[in-house]
């Protein structure tokens, strides 16, 4: 009896242990399948997944002032987004006054690490893709498909090297994966910087090599033959002007091994290369300047906002509201009275275009664009002597380059069919002092005479979410009503290459090469702006530079152009007396002087914006950005840039 009992007990324990051990031996319990990871085998054999990888690479290409870019941005960072337009001379910041944003108005100088970039993670991923695609064996991966993918990857790599070289000067050219052997001594992976010239030559040879493999004909988002030529046109123009203008400096910025500084003798070669690329695009007949709307200002605006039938755009970063890829640019920059939504810290009116830019747009007769009859804003009789009494707020902008109206919203304008009310205050005649007294109020206030004191769109001197300069930005602003809401947002695309730039590139290169036809390229662009055919007879450097400033405003060219022309340190010299280095505002006022002919007319005051507290200051050490200490620690063979 007892024996039996014990036996059944052991049976019980045995059963329990068996069940238990059945669980314990289940080794796969901790082996979980991820739902969002692809194995190398899956990835490189499937063209559709490779396209996903390429999409990822496109999204990671460095861009300085596009529609995205992280919150705040800080003082460094190669990739910063449109908010940084408020750091130069095209605009200032009029959005939220948090220091994270507002610092752009009081930037003491540009830090040496501004524009710094060392994104070899992307280079590594591109090289990795090229290696894998080159060696993969799979029925879906035909030689043609492989060649096309590799060409597109080489384009992306060339684009990235251009972004590196234009910020940092020469960088190590890495074209293959560098594999660490985990043996504790990675010194065999330490490369030196290639010379600035070598990097530009590398970009040129890469672009030349892939022209016939790229495919993607007619694509406006993926690289095709003409995109490669457009990149070449821009990059070679940079190289040419660097070679020429760096050496015209009192003390050229060079390093002994050419890491920065291109010999002056190479200028012609690069200009020729750029011109050839530009000509190839222009002569291909694939593109033409956007000239659809007979109203020239609106036409210029549509050149950026119209996606269908737009044969000017060569490549853009595209968005689609219906597919969920959209951006907040319109919400954050919509004029104050049109704002629909106040989401997070963003509001409206973030970028206030500067009077500096507005005055760069010439009059259609070719005369200087400085506005006529504006006061100094000093509220004294002397400050009012220059006034012209205008009948309407927009009369002062009459007969200007049509691109002004396409780029900027100025007093008296409307947007999306909605008229804006921009008036800073009133000037009331004071018979005792024989001058006008200035009164300003809050938004939407009425003066005692029942008329407007301050309009619903400002401008105000020092208030968030309302223009501080008297202007709003029109370029890229989406006129569809929901675009200014955080729920819907906007899908205006970001134009990266367009024919207008190519004309200007060609004109500049041809001019530098002394070619007689240089002026015809520039005149083509001016013709669209309303200047008539052959408006310029001769070219000067200043003409070309001003043309780029107004045609390409807010297209991520200004700061790079000033750098390559080596005039940034003069234009933005950090002095309060230099009109180019300070951001100016133009405030409209209504005249109150009942019974007098000037009653109800408008006058304008020009002054340095009170919210822009510091002049722009570009130092010699900004021509090449700082290579971070970490990069140098990691590889002591990397030489520092000058002045750092």
- Per CB under 8 A, contacts with another protein among 72-101 are 96-99
- The separation between CA 45 and the C-alpha centre of its own chain, rounded to angstroms, equals 36
Q: Based on CB atoms, which residue is closest to another protein, 172 or 369?
A: 172
- The separation between CA 145 and the C-alpha centre of its own chain, rounded to angstroms, equals 33
Question: How far apart are alpha carbons 83 and 68 in whole angstroms?
Answer: 9
CA-CA distances (angstroms) from residue 140 to 128, 148, 415?
19, 13, 51
* Residues between 187 and 246 with contacts to another protein, criterion CB under 8 A: 189-191, 216, 219, 221-222
How are beta strands 425-430 and 584-592 bridged, if at all? parallel
Q: What is the dihedral of CA 577, 582, 583, 585, to 10 degrees?
A: 0
Do 590 and 604 touch, CB atoms closer than 8 A?
no
Nearest approach in angstroms of CB 581 to another protein is: 19
Do 525 and 303 touch, CB atoms closer than 8 A?
no
Contact segment (CB under 8 A) with another protein among 194-202, 413-421, 438-446, 601-609 equals 438-446
Do 617 and 572 touch, CB atoms closer than 8 A?
yes
Q: Which one of 284, 292, 320, 385 is in contact with another protein (CB under 8 A)?
A: 320
Do 484 and 455 touch, CB atoms closer than 8 A?
no
* Residues between 499 and 518 with contacts to another protein, criterion CB under 8 A: none
Q: Which one of 45, 208, 444, 639 is in contact with another protein (CB under 8 A)?
A: 444
Exposed, middle or buried: residue 527 (CB in 10 Å: 0-12, 13-18, 19+)? Answer: middle
Q: Which one of 149, 319, 472, 476 is in contact with another protein (CB under 8 A)?
A: 319
**Cis-peptide, bond into residue 566, ω within 30° of zero:** no
Q: Based on CB atoms, which residue is closest to another protein, 543 or 608?
A: 608
Q: Based on CB atoms, which residue is closest to another protein, 95 or 261?
A: 95
In sequence order, the β-bridge partners of residue 454 are: 445
Question: How far apart are alpha carbons 585 and 574 in whole angstroms?
Answer: 18
Q: Based on CB atoms, which residue is closest to another protein, 316 or 402?
A: 316
Q: Which one of 67, 82, 88, 103 is in contact with another protein (CB under 8 A)?
A: 103
Nearest approach in angstroms of CB 637 to another protein is: 8
Do 299 and 292 touch, CB atoms closer than 8 A?
yes
How are beta strands 408-409 and 435-440 bridged, if at all? unpaired
Q: Which one of 293, 546, 635, 639 is in contact with another protein (CB under 8 A)?
A: 635
Q: Based on CB atoms, which residue is closest to another protein, 99 or 309?
A: 99
Q: Which one of 237, 262, 317, 428 is in contact with another protein (CB under 8 A)?
A: 317
Helix 143-168 with 225-246: angle, nearest 10 deg: 20
* Residues between 104 and 143 with contacts to another protein, criterion CB under 8 A: 106, 118, 120-125, 127-129
* Residues between 148 and 177 with contacts to another protein, criterion CB under 8 A: 172, 174
Q: Based on CB atoms, which residue is closest to another protein, 94 or 582?
A: 94
Number of residues that bind another protein (CB under 8 A): 101
Nearest approach in angstroms of CB 634 to another protein is: 5
* Residues between 322 and 381 with contacts to another protein, criterion CB under 8 A: 322-325, 340-344, 379
Q: Which one of 75, 485, 535, 578 is in contact with another protein (CB under 8 A)?
A: 485
Radius of gyration for the chain, computed over Cα atoms and rounded to the nearest angstrom: 30
250 scored as a contact of another protein (CB under 8 A): no
Question: How far apart are alpha carbons 41 and 453 in whole angstroms?
Answer: 69
* Residues between 255 and 314 with contacts to another protein, criterion CB under 8 A: none
34 scored as a contact of another protein (CB under 8 A): yes
Q: Based on CB atoms, which residue is closest to another protein, 462 or 576?
A: 462
Nearest approach in angstroms of CB 367 to another protein is: 35
* Residues between 560 and 619 with contacts to another protein, criterion CB under 8 A: 610
CA-CA distances (angstroms) from residue 569 to 40, 329, 565?
49, 30, 10
Nearest approach in angstroms of CB 354 to another protein is: 21
Q: Could you tell me where the DSSP H helices lie in 247-338?
A: 267-284, 296-305, 329-333
Q: Could you tell me where the DSSP H helices lie in 455-540?
A: 499-512, 518-526
Q: Which one of 3, 35, 139, 250 is in contact with another protein (CB under 8 A)?
A: 35
Nearest approach in angstroms of CB 246 to another protein is: 25
């Amino acid at each position: 009896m007892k024996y039996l009992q014990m036996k059944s007990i052991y049976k019980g324990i045995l059963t329990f242990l068996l069940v238990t051990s059945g669980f314990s031996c289940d080794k796969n319990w901790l082996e979980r399948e991820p739902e969002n990871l692809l194995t190398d085998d899956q990835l490189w054999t499937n063209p559709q997944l490779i396209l996903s990888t390429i999409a990822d690479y496109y999204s990671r290409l460095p861009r300085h002032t596009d529609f995205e870019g992280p919150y705040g941005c800080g003082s460094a960072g190669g990739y910063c987004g449109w908010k940084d337009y408020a750091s130069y001379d095209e605009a200032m910041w009029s959005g939220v006054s948090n220091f994270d944003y507002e610092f752009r108005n009081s930037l003491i100088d540009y830090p040496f690490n501004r524009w710094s970039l060392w994104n070899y993670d992307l280079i590594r991923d591109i090289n990795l893709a090229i290696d894998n695609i080159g060696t993969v064996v799979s029925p879906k991966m035909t030689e043609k498909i492989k060649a096309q993918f590799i060409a597109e990857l080489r384009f992306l790599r060339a684009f990235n090297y251009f972004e590196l070289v234009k910020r940092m000067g020469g960088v190590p050219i890495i074209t293959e994966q560098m594999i660490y052997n985990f043996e504790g001594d990675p010194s065999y992976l330490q490369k030196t910087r290639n010379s600035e010239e070598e990097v530009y030559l590398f970009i040129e040879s890469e672009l030349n090599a892939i022209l016939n493999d790229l495919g993607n004909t007619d694509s406006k988002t993926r690289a095709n033959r003409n995109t490669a030529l457009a990149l070449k046109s821009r990059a070679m123009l940079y190289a040419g002007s660097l070679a020429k203008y760096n050496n015209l400096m009192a003390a050229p910025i060079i390093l002994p091994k050419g890491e920065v500084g291109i010999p002056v003798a190479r200028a012609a070669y690069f200009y020729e290369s750029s011109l050839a690329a530009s000509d190839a695009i222009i002569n291909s007949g694939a593109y033409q300047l956007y000239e659809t709307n007979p109203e020239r200002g609106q036409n210029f605006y549509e050149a950026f906002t119209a996606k269908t039938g737009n044969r000017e755009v060569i490549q853009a970063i595209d968005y689609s509201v219906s597919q969920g890829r959209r951006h907040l640019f319109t919400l954050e920059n919509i004029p104050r009275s049109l704002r629909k939504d106040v989401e997070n810290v963003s509001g409206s009116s973030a970028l206030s275009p500067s009077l500096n830019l507005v005055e760069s747009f010439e009059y259609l007769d070719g005369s200087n664009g400085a506005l006529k009859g504006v006061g100094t804003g000093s509220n004294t009789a002397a400050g009012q002597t220059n006034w012209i009494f205008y009948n309407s707020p927009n009369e002062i902008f009459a007969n200007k380059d049509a691109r002004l109206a396409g780029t900027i919203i100025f007093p008296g304008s409307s947007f999306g069919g909605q008229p804006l009310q921009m008036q800073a205050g009133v000037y009331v005649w004071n018979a005792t002092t024989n001058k006008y007294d200035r009164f300003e109020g809050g938004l939407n206030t009425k003066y005692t005479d029942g008329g407007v004191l301050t309009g619903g769109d400002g401008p105000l001197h020092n208030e968030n979410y309302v223009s501080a300069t008297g202007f709003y930005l029109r370029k890229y602003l989406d006129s569809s009503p929901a675009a200014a809401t955080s729920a819907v947002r906007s899908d205006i695309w970001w134009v990266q290459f367009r024919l207008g730039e190519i004309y200007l590139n060609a004109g500049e290169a041809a001019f530098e090469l002394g070619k007689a036809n240089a002026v015809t390229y520039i005149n083509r662009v001016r013709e669209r702006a309303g200047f008539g055919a052959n408006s310029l007879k001769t070219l000067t450097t200043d003409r070309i530079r001003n043309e780029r400033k107004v045609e390409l405003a807010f297209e991520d060219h200004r700061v790079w152009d000033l750098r390559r022309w080596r005039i940034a340190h003069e234009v933005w010299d950090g002095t309060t007396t230099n009109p180019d280095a300070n951001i100016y505002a133009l405030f409209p006022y209504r005249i109150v002087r009942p019974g007098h002919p000037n009653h109800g007319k408008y006058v304008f005051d020009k002054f340095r914006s009170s919210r822009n507290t510091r002049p722009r200051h570009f130092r010699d050490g900004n021509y090449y950005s700082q290579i971070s200490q970490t990069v140098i620690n990691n590889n002591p063979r990397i030489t520092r840039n000058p002045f750092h």
